[in-house]
Structure 1
Amino acid sequence: MFFNKKTSPSNGRIQAEPSEKALHGASLVREAWWLGLVLVGAYLAVILITYSPQDPSWSHMASEGASVDNAGGSVGAWVSDMLLYLFGFSAWWWVVLAFYGMWLVYKRLGSTISERPFLLFNLVGFVLLILASAAFESGHLLAIPAQFPLTQGGMIGNALDTLLRSMFGFAGSTMCLIILMAIGFSLFTGWSWIMMTEKLGAWVLAAHAWGLNKYYDWQDRKAGKQVEIKRDEYIETERKRTEDRPPIEIKVPELEIPKSERVLKERQTVLFESMPDSALPPLHLLDEVTTTVELQSAETLDFTSRLIERKLVD
């Protein structure tokens, strides 16, 4: 019993080592797939761009020693000619497949779960997409300004379009191909058309709200600018009016204080005369009235009057 307890951790470590090696090996395989898909996608794009119908290829024979204009060499000339012969311009979906597969593998470089069913699901969608695209290109698109070894849409697209037209007619085949392309694209990319529509609607509403806010801000700034212009004009008019106004003349009034009979009487009091019966103190105890009064300067009065006018206007 004690022997089993001591050896169980070592057995667990021994069993864990192969799994870690297997995970590391699977990660290396995914990296190899990623690099291979990068190479395939770039090579397909180059050979399709530099395709020349004069190169010796799958559908065109040339004399021995003829030059090859395709940047991918003789192999590139053969592969590009075959893809364009079979699918027409829709052969570019193979480039999309390579780069999209590269992106999927890149996202799963550190994954430990086998996701082969999902990848096969994408491949089924791709087959449906490229077939429907080639058929739609063959009979439902205007002429594409490009050179093809056979015809627009290729041999497969032409055959599929002819079959669907014989079964559903032109309008029916058009609707069928559009639906098939939508289904294939959704299966291939994993994007939901409903979610894409909702996101598009949310973007449209957000753009509309943003535009309304910008419009209202512009209206507010415009109204504020007009008010500012009117206020500046009014201030300039008031400034000129106050500058042209004649200065204020301040006339100092002459103070004439009448003499009080009581004061004169109390000043002429006779010695030893009895005190008055009134409880009030005598007036001669008060200070004499000064004939000079301190007045505000003309500048102070002018400033105060203008300030009062402005406050009343506001």
Structure 2
Amino acid sequence: MKKPQKAIVTFTNPTVKERLKPHLYSMMIKPWRMIKNTLMLTGAFVWLLLLLVCLYFYSVLSKVPDLEKVPFQHVREVAVESVQSKIESKTKLKEYQWVGIDNVNRDLLYAIVMSEDGQFFSHKGVNWDALISAIGENIKRRELSYGASTISQQVSKNVYMRSNSKSFSRKLSELFTTRELEKHLSKNEILELYLNVAEFGPDIYGVKHASKYYFGKSPADINAAEGAFLAIMLPSPRKYHYSIFQNKHLAPRHQRKLRRIFSDMLYKEYISPNQYQSYLKWNYFFN
């Protein structure tokens, strides 16, 4: 009986190519895994970022009033409540009264429009050229000092914004609210809101109270010169009430602004050349 033969195992040295193959595979697979993992992380980050942006815009839009089926009377009531909440003096609170735009002199209307927002009747709520210019100035000065708000934006701010913050969120909310106003209200309705919520001095809100306080007249009897005077109070009503009205002094910059308002009104043919010359010499402090 033959003995089973033992298997002969031979050992051969691997070639250089065979020795390098696992290392080459490892070198090829690792970068791909890194790229794959990086892409997955980037994708997750992008989706997370999109989710945060969506949540941010949702939080902003949730605060924007829906005015599609809201009558003007309701918007007016909201505006009155907003003004009344700001008036500190009980005496001044009793003096605040709403006035319809039909009971406001045309010259007073145009003086304020020329001063605050000359493109009011042509833009759709935002003057983008002025806004971009203001953004450039703010970046240059590294502070939020220039506004470029239109009358529509000021109505949004004064009626619906409960905070005086200059944050990006608030500005964005203001822009969306302005869009709602322009979409569902007429220009005259927006202007009526503005004339009744604007502050012209300490606790002096609305053109009816302002006309009586500064000139002892109703808004229907205010001329362009007096309207321009009210207009120059608007940027800083409490400050200018003291520096202009109480001190009976018009600084050169205020005189220039008055001339600009009259020039714009003359150019638009809201006043005649004779009225223009007369208003340039107007005595505001005759008492």
TM-score, scaled relative to structure 1:
0.27
Larger Rg: 1
Greater helix share, structure number:
1
